[in-house]
């Protein structure tokens, strides 16, 4: 039997291949490769040699055969070793991964938001009430702080102060870029990090230790993530080392800062750049809030334009445009041979700006995700939360939190966009971001 051919290799410059294009704008570069080479191709740079699987075919594959032929641990191993968390859920596969997701499901369910709406709304207002009126607000840090505090409160029962958060963000961002994006050795990261990195690492360790200690020793009115994992260790000791439980503090404060936190920034940016959409969404919010703070049912059903804003933002600015895996065995995809051990990039969002599936694909359309248009869309085209066994376990939580944050902010505060921020450049870190210098103008509280 004739072996299937290897995926076509992307042409590029000598030695660096398409590395420069990927460094400048990885999503745009991958989009061009996908258009030229089709649903499967290879690319080589000094940092990585990978097979890319893209489009609806790849997303469908990830949901079926991919669950058996793709594995996660190899890619995530440097990060799990740095955190001393061998059983981090992102790095598990097969039955251990299924068990871990089942154990953690209550902690990352939408119920966490639904059952705490008044408390979370108060947290949102407390933070934004503290900012002076008529000020340019550094939105990325403000949004990451809000998200980190909400997730930290719900999962760990505690929140870091601003200085601790700044140090935490510095350590977390450098670590994830160094280990997961650049794929460089952790030892070199520590040797070259300098005093700032060492200070950030030490403060992060202290924040994490204190959060876990408080969760395990102080009284609280609900099981927190560290409690859930400690209890689960009685039945599954192989899944929960001391390091795994300790890393829950890191997970709690890190989860969301580069996902929901950045998404809230993009949501406000897109609405402020599209005043007609802003007026329509704000009218919906005011109508719902005229009866008081929405309850869980109202949050889920009465704010469809807020939900649409969240989904449309994820279409244009996905927090993760692709997912890295490794081939657990030889397999064939779309008539091409992928070899055991190869890096595999699932380019899950390849269709998000494809005119075949989305009219005016680069435009922000707050009605693009109305029910009738969602129903008409082909499967495996819009994939904001990944595909396969590792589809985001907190997708429903993320949607509820994003809708709550956006609705509270739009109802209680008036914002404008400085002229020089309307065409702010999207930067790539571990996820897309508008950067620390991005500002929106907080005019003040809206009269009601």
Residue 83 lies in a domain: yes
In a domain, 2, yes or no: no
Residue 2, pLDDT score: 61
Q: What confidence score (pLDDT) does residue 103 get? A: 94
Q: How far is Cα 93 from Cα 66, in angstroms, rounded to an integer?
A: 11
Q: pTM of the entire structure?
A: 0.95
pLDDT of residue 24: 87
Please give the chain's pLDDT, 448 residues, in tens.
Answer: 468 999 999 999 999 999 999 988 899 999 999 999 999 999 999 989 999 999 999 999 999 999 999 999 999 999 999 999 999 999 999 999 999 999 999 999 999 999 999 999 999 999 999 999 999 999 999 999 999 999 999 999 988 899 999 999 899 989 988 998 888 899 999 999 999 999 999 999 999 999 999 999 999 988 899 999 999 999 999 999 999 999 988 887 777 777 899 999 999 999 999 999 999 999 999 999 999 999 999 999 999 999 999 999 999 999 888 999 999 999 999 999 999 999 999 999 999 999 999 999 999 999 999 999 888 899 999 999 988 888 888 899 999 999 999 999 999 999 999 999 999 999 887 788 999 999 999 999 998 7
Q: CATH number of the domain that 108 lies in? A: 1.10.630.10
C-alpha 52/C-alpha 313 separation (Å) is 24
DSSP conformation class of 348: T
> Considering the domain boundaries, does residue 34 fall inside one?
yes
Overall domain count for the chain:
1
Predicted pLDDT at 389: 84
Residue 248 belongs to some domain of the structure: yes
Q: Is residue 1 part of a domain?
A: no
The answer to whether residue 12 is domain-embedded is no
Q: What is the pLDDT of residue 413?
A: 98
Residue 274 lies in a domain: yes
With beta carbons less than 8 A apart as the criterion, state whether 310 and 399 touch: yes
Judge whether 170 lies within some domain: yes
**Roughly what angle, to the nearest 10 degrees, separates helices 395-412 and 260-273?**
40
- Residue 347's domain comprises 19-443
Q: Are 140 and 436 in contact (CB under 8 A)?
A: yes
């Amino acid at each position: 039997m004739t072996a299937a051919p290897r995926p076509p290799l992307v042409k590029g410059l000598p030695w660096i291949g398409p590395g420069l294009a990927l460094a400048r704008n990885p999503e745009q570069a991958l989009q061009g490769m996908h258009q030229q080479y089709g649903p499967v191709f290879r690319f080589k740079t000094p940092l990585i040699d990978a097979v890319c699987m893209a489009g609806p075919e790849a997303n469908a594959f990830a949901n079926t055969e991919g669950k058996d032929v793709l594995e996660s641990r190899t890619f995530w191993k440097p990060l799990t070793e740095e955190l001393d968390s061998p059983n981090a859920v992102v790095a598990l596969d097969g039955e251990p991964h299924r068990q871990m997701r089942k154990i953690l499901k209550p902690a990352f369910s939408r119920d966490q938001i639904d059952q705490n709406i008044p408390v979370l709304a108060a947290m949102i207002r407390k933070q934004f009430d503290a900012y002076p009126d008529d000020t340019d607000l550094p939105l990325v840090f403000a949004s990451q702080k809000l998200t980190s505090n909400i997730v930290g409160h719900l999962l760990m029962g505690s929140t870091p102060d601003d200085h601790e958060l700044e140090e935490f963000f510095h350590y977390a961002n450098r670590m994830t870029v160094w280990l997961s994006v650049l794929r460089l050795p952790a030892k070199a990261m520590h040797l070259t990090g300098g005093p700032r990195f060492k200070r950030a690492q030490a403060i992060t360790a202290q924040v994490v230790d204190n959060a876990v200690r408080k969760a395990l020793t102080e009284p609280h009115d609900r099981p927190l993530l560290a409690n859930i994992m400690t209890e689960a260790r009685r039945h599954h000791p192989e899944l929960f080392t001391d390091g795994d439980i300790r890393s829950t503090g890191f997970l709690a404060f890190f989860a969301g800062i580069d996902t929901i936190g950045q998404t809230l920034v993009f949501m406000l940016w897109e609405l402020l750049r599209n005043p007609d959409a802003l007026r329509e969404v704000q009218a919906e919010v005011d109508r719902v809030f005229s009866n008081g703070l929405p309850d869980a049912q109202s949050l889920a059903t009465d704010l469809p334009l807020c939900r649409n804003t969240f989904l449309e933002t994820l279409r244009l600015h996905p927090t993760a445009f692709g997912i890295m895996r490794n081939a657990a065995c030889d397999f064939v995809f779309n008539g091409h041979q992928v070899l055991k051990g190869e890096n595999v990039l699932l380019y899950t969002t390849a269709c998000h700006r494809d005119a075949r599936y989305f009219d005016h694909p680069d435009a922000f359309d707050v009605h693009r995700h109305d029910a009738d248009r969602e129903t008409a869309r082909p499967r495996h085209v819009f994939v904001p939360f990944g595909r396969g066994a590792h589809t985001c376990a907190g997708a429903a939580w993320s949607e509820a939190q994003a809708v709550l944050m956006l609705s509270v902010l739009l109802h209680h505060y008036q914002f404008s966009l400085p002229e020089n921020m309307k065409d702010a450049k999207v930067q790539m870190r571990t996820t897309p971001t508008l950067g620390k210098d991005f500002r929106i103008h907080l005019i003040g509280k809206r009269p009601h």
